[in-house]
Amino acid sequence: MGQIQYTMKPQDIVILLKIISYGDQEWSQIPLAASLNISQSEISQSLVRSKFAGLLDGNGKKVMRMALMDFLQYGLAYVFPQKPGPVVRGVHTAHSAPPLNNEIQSEEPYVWPSASGKVRGQSIVPLYPSVVEAAMKDEKLYQLLALVDTLRVGKAREKNLALKELKQRILNGEKS
């Protein structure tokens, strides 16, 4: 007789950002799963959680952009916190990646650990293990994920710049 507890998982954010990266393009679960290297069943479960949380519309096809933006701005760093780790080889993220890397100069870059990475920096655990590979195939997704990582690990100025950029891309639908 108990109710099911729907708890958001980090991959839910990745999936919602990937859907946003499609813009006005139609999408379906199987290609979405393939593009993110996440199983189709996990995509399906994620969409159910996101609908329950009010981050997807009732049909499960349209991201509720204002709700997602509110969650990113006010909840992400508390629900999926991250602290920079040891120096490793990897792929730029947070303010060390586009689009913020032109505005913020840092002595020690932040990176997602990756054997295929070409830079060394403090490690940031990605929201989901397949993020690095998926981001390397999709520049829009990569930039959205890097901005989201800035909210997870950045200082006040960096977070404010990331929020401004995310609002432009998520709320105004601007694609760069």
User: Which H or E run contains 113?
Assistant: strand 110-113
Q: Is residue 51 part of a domain?
A: yes
Classify residue 119 by burial, with Cβ atoms within 10 Å: 0-12, 13-18, 19+.
middle
User: What range defines the domain where residue 35 resides?
Assistant: 10-79
Question: Do residues 53 and 73 both lie within one domain?
Answer: yes
Domain match, 93 and 45 both = no
pLDDT for the residue 176: 40
- Alpha helix segments (H runs only) across 22-137: 29-36, 40-53, 65-74, 76-79, 131-137
Residues 99 and 152 in one domain: yes
pLDDT tens string, the chain, 176 residues long: the values are 578 888 999 999 999 999 999 998 999 999 999 999 999 999 999 999 999 999 999 999 999 999 999 999 999 999 999 999 999 999 999 999 999 998 988 888 999 999 999 999 999 999 999 999 999 999 999 999 999 999 999 999 999 999 999 999 999 875 44
Which of 51, 79, 107 terminates a domain? The answer is 79
In a domain, 4, yes or no: no
For residues 70 and 92, membership in a common domain is answered with: no
* Residue 137: inside a domain: yes
Which of 19, 45, 79 is the last residue in one of the domains? 79
CATH classification at residue 23 = 1.10.10
Per-residue pLDDT, 175: 44
* Domains identified in the chain, total number: 2
Examine residue 27 and state whether it is found in any structural domain, yes or no: yes
